[in-house]
Amino acid sequence: MKKYILENDKNYIWHPFTNIKKSKPPIVIRSANNDKLIDIDGKEYLDLISSWWVNIHGHSKKEIIESIAEQSKLLDQVVFADLTHEPAVKLAKKLSEILPGDLNRIFYSDNGSTSVEIAMKVCYQFWFNQGIKKNQFAALTGGYHGDTLGAMSLGFSSGFYEPFSDLVINTHFLPYPENYRGNNSVEEKELHSLSEADKIIDKFGKDLIAIIIEPLIQGASGMKICRPEFLNALVKKFKQNNILVIFDEVMTGFGRTGKMFATDYLNIIPDVICLAKSITGGYLPLAATVFTETIHNQFIDLDITKSFLHGHSFTANPIACSAANTSIDLFGKENTFSKIEQIKKLHHEGLELIDKNPTVSKVRMIGTISAFDLSILDVNYGSDVSNLIKESFLEKGYIIRPLGNTVYLMPPYCISTTTLQKAYEDIDMVIKEFSKEVL
């Protein structure tokens, strides 16, 4: 069977984010259990990146599996224009209750990129419906918002899109003042970024539809953290100038940063929040773009051209909504935030150990995400050295995918204390061995 899978994988499949020429045959994963992935030969791997940041409670979660099974029997899929259903309505109500302010209007789709695409289109049309023509966005350098054309434009500086430079929407990028342990120039960098924001607002303010921000941590460009004080000041500037604010919480949502949403650390509320990835606990594709009533009100009109004429076949899929309801309920039932607190403590201790390596720099963490850089070489995304590090971790049974020279851990919340402690010890060993080889 393994031979059959690998041969046909090679002949028929095009994998994402993969260098076809260089990459080795993929590992064939057959099953998963809690924090483990098990391959076809029975080898176990610790899923230290929660299967691309989605699987928050762990794999094979009984409650989510049961809700999927029950909902599949009752109603599998239905058009979401003219018709509605209980799982979608329950989820929308639940989201509006756990989100701050009047972020109450939920537009469903099925992945993070489309949740951003919807945010962009709605914000554009919000102005258009008022007779105001605007055609530019602002974003932070290094931000990543997905791979569809619009989302790509807003994340262009993340470095994944060189071939597409002719296709992008006009976006102004502000410097991102990243912070990490021992950084003593963060305030200076924040002031610089804020003054650049002033310049962009002065020059292009009337054309700016919105600014998009990954709040508190930029994921794909290297787990870069910024301070809440900075975001509070930045968002205030844009709001004061009547420019909409979109928070992309596709990665940070649902406990990742230590609170339900990264927004909960701030004293300001955005106009739009994008949610996806872990919304169903990682079981099914679903996304929600959440808007304030003020935005929604601009679409209430008898004229059809003022409606938001956008939708996807699987908008608000009932099975996915049901999984999401169960996943969110688990936070209360299982006291998930106490698990998150324990992971925070273990990350803190683990990073103390890792930080002792002379090749390690920029140690940082927020909530259940920890990261550090390997300051040995210039290691680009997908480079040979980066792949070598990834393989060293794999050999030891860890799924870790460094982003260039950044190694990060984002485990499912079910990980046990001893497992995570052991992971840090093994990672420390890999770094030591690896440093010896390349230095």
Ligand X SMILES: Cc1ncc(COP(=O)(O)O)c(C=O)c1O
Binding stretches for ligand X (CB under 6 A): 111-113, 116, 144-146, 214, 219-220, 248, 250-251, 276-277
Nearest approach in angstroms of CB 252 to ligand X is: 7
Nearest approach in angstroms of CB 220 to ligand X is: 5
- Residue 143 or 177: the one with the smaller Cβ distance to ligand X is 143
- Residue 119 or 346: the one with the smaller Cβ distance to ligand X is 119
- Residue 273 or 343: the one with the smaller Cβ distance to ligand X is 273
- Residue 119 or 354: the one with the smaller Cβ distance to ligand X is 119
Nearest approach in angstroms of CB 111 to ligand X is: 4
As a whole number of angstroms, the distance between CA 302 and CA 322 comes to 33
Residue nearest to ligand X (CB): 112
Nearest approach in angstroms of CB 48 to ligand X is: 16
- Residue 56 or 346: the one with the smaller Cβ distance to ligand X is 56
What's the 3-state SS for 331-349?
A: HHHCCHHHHHHHHHHHHHH
- Residue 403 or 430: the one with the smaller Cβ distance to ligand X is 403
Nearest approach in angstroms of CB 258 to ligand X is: 17
As a whole number of angstroms, the distance between CA 177 and CA 217 comes to 11
Segments in 306-401 forming alpha helices (H): 318-333, 336-354, 384-395
Containing H/E element for 209? strand 208-213
The DSSP bridge pattern shows strands 208-213 and 244-248 to be parallel
As a whole number of angstroms, the distance between CA 295 and CA 92 comes to 17
Nearest approach in angstroms of CB 276 to ligand X is: 5
∠ CA 262-267-268, nearest 5°, is 85
Q: Which of 24, 34, 29, 9 is nearest to 414 (CA)?
A: 34
